[in-house]
Amino acid sequence: MFDVLVYLYENYWRPDACPEHAQLSRKLTSVGFESDEIEDALSWLDGLTTVAESQAKAQSPLSLRVYTPAEQDHLGTASIAFLSFLESAGVLPAPMREIAVDRAMATTSELALEDLKIIVLMVFWSIGEEPDALILDELFVDVEDRLIH
């Protein structure tokens, strides 16, 4: 599913630039994705659209996010720390964090940090906003591949 999401991010500027599901499914199949993978990704994207449209925009800057035991188990320590890092850096506002957590919880398998990074990228994509270059670097480049200057 995550490979399909990355393909969509790389090939379509915004969700509204994507063709209808039937046409998009045919295109993704012709590119080489499996039908179950495509179905999972499109269903996940439908959920992203629904959550993004319904997410309340106003949250107190003094509010504190407490993760439930189920969220802690599913996300893992590294993913929660990454979300906290993005939020404290001022690049992931609370409403976007909540969308990311919701979409992370909508995945069926245990979530790896790399998968969460794709989810965060798709949250930005869903609202038509591109993260700044430093955040894109954080979302795309593996730590082992970074050059230290």
Report the alpha-carbon distance of residue 13 to residue 11 in Å, rounded.
7
Taking residue 15's Cβ as centre, other Cβ atoms within 10 Å add up to 16
Q: Identify residue 62 by its one-letter amino acid code.
A: L
Confidence of residue 142 (pLDDT cuts 50, 70, 90): low
96 against 136, higher pLDDT? 96
pLDDT of residue 148: 43
Report the alpha-carbon distance of residue 64 to residue 94 in Å, rounded.
10
Report the alpha-carbon distance of residue 104 to residue 109 in Å, rounded.
10
Q: Give alpha helix (H) positions in the chain.
A: 2-11, 21-31, 35-54, 69-88, 94-105, 113-126, 133-140
Confidence of residue 149 (pLDDT cuts 50, 70, 90): very low
Report the alpha-carbon distance of residue 47 to residue 25 in Å, rounded.
17
Contact yes or no for 121/9 (Cβ under 8 A): yes
pLDDT of residue 140: 66
Residues 6+ apart with CB under 8 A from 24: 18, 42
- Collapsing DSSP states into helix, strand and coil, what is residue 142? coil
- The pair phi, psi for residue 83, each rounded to 5°, is -60, -40
